[in-house]
Amino acid sequence: MVRHGENEMAISVPVFQEYKDVLSRPENMELLSLKQSDIDTIMDFIVTVGRVTHISYSWRPNLRDEADNMIIELARSSGSQYLITRNVKDMTVDSDLMNDDIGILTPGEFLAIWRKR
């Protein structure tokens, strides 16, 4: 959907680096059968199709996992309608955030909504 312009993917420098770091972990490379050249290709794709969003404020969501904070920051700064993640629980549990304006969905939930359109 992103490649064909049907949806946009917001990206920031910290989130880009987090994606690269997570993909490059030896256990993830093994699990996903990735070589470094595969990771480079994935990251090149993200740079090509992603809409770079600069985070220009000091508000911090204060989620349990610091890496999740930057994802919420990106969603807010980019004006995203949806935050698509398999990590819905960590984005919502023990959080005092009001995220009623951003749908925090799993990929399957998002696809179900998208198909109905």
| Choice among 3-7, 62-66, 113-117 with the minimum mean pLDDT | 62-66
Q: What are phi and psi for residue 40, nearest 5 degrees?
A: -60, -40
Instruction: Give the whole-angstrom CA distance, residue 98 versus residue 101.
Output: 8
**19-51 pLDDT per residue, tens:** 999 999 999 999 999 999 999 999 999 999 999
Distance CA 72, CA 53 (A): 12
pTM: 0.80
* Model confidence band, residue 103 (pLDDT cutoffs 50, 70, 90): confident
